[in-house]
Amino acid sequence: MRKLLIVTALLFSVTIFAQEVKPTFEKEGNLIKGTYYFEDGTVRQQGFYNKEGILHGEWKSYDATGKKIAMGQYNKGVKTGKWFFWTADKLSEVNYDNNQIADVTTWSGKDNVVMNYKN
């Protein structure tokens, strides 16, 4: 019986502390800025929505340490222009045309070689 009480208490305490971190939304001019969080409260993604709730404007993503891992633009829900994606050893520049990848350029920090892929 004592073990059952301890297990129940542990499960209850884990449930209390495992609460979901909810996103925040704030108005900035004609847009709504949305911020999404990791469980520890650090920012996971941040970007803008138009009045209709569609992605519009700059959008950024971060890893759990707060390092930026992606950045780009939406135009009424469509990825447009240049998007940048960072990993530990490279930077990829992805050019979008009408929500489709037009080309990708990748820079490697190790050898400073630029690789260009066209679709």
84-110 confidence digits (pLDDT tens):
999 988 999 999 998 899 999 998 866
pLDDT at 33: 98
Class of domain 21-118: alpha beta
* Helix runs in the chain, H state only: 2-17
**Nearest Cα residue to 104 out of 84, 114, 118, 90:** 118
